Amino acid sequence: MIEFNTISKQWADGTQALSQVSLKVPRGQFCVILGPSGAGKSTLLRAVNGLVKPTQGFVKIDGEVLNSSTEKLLRQRVAMIHQHFNLSPRLSVASNVLAGMLPKVSMARALSGWFEPEQRDKACALVEQVGLKPEHLTRRAGDLSGGQQQRVGIARAFMLDPEVVLADEPVASLDPKISSDILGLIRDAARERNATVICSLHQVDLAREFGDRIVGMRNGKVVFDGTPAEFTDEK
């Protein structure tokens, strides 16, 4: 369970990105944060892995408050999928997927290229699960199409069997035709592992299709919280 307890965030320039947001996201839920650009979705997601420090309130992961002393360990249980994939474009697909071990494995170890055989096996299995072929493993990540790069981003995110996956507009940079495929991969990989997904989107149709729950945000506030069936566009 992820708990956002009265989270507010004011940026140094005075922008109020979040105002008193409180939410509880149970384990295994696919929770869509739906809202237009600037609503505060990204800020909210980043509060869960410590990339954003709230000015007020706190986040709890399974009852543990996220703070400077718990952050390192809690971060190993939280993975992120980015809008712009955030891969290392010159490195191979295999290296990018193995980089999903980084919260746990030291940078020096990762750069040496040495990983346990079972870690390599896991990377291969994940690459297959997201619909890539073994021959993709040695390709440079930057040479792949956007959709393929996001598949790599998904495989990387699941390397440590995360309890929570933060997906920040994971399909906003992709051809709408493949958006459902990509969101389906995230949903299925999460379901299989009972991982919680907090996924920001701006498209109502995708929110309805994939969300177990929709949290509508506007100007840093929650303006709707319910099932897709309860969601109407005017809100």
Regarding 37 and contact with ligand ADP (CB under 6 A), the answer is: yes
Q: Which is nearer to ligand ADP, 45 or 185 (CB)?
A: 45
Regarding 42 and contact with ligand ADP (CB under 6 A), the answer is: yes
Q: Cα–Cα distances in Å, from 32 out to 120, 170, 209, 231?
A: 32, 11, 10, 12
| Beta bridge mates, 168 | 200
Regarding 83 and contact with ligand ADP (CB under 6 A), the answer is: yes
Please select the residue that binds ligand ADP; options are 60, 82, 104, 120, rule is CB under 6 A. Answer: 82
Q: Which is nearer to ligand ADP, 34 or 185 (CB)?
A: 34
Regarding 55 and contact with ligand ADP (CB under 6 A), the answer is: no
Adjacency order of strands within the sheet including 164-168: 78-81, 164-168, 196-201, 30-34, 213-218, 221-226
Q: Which is nearer to ligand ADP, 11 or 114 (CB)?
A: 11
Binders of ligand ADP in range 200-219 (CB under 6 A): 200
| Beta bridge mates, 209 | none
Q: Which residue is nearest to ligand ADP (CB)?
A: 42
Q: Which is nearer to ligand ADP, 196 or 200 (CB)?
A: 200
The three-state secondary structure class of 200 is strand
> For the chain, how far is it from start to end, CA to CA, in angstroms?
26
Q: Kindly report the backbone phi and psi dihedral angles of residue 79, in degrees, each rounded to the nearest multiple of 5, phi listed first.
A: -110, 160
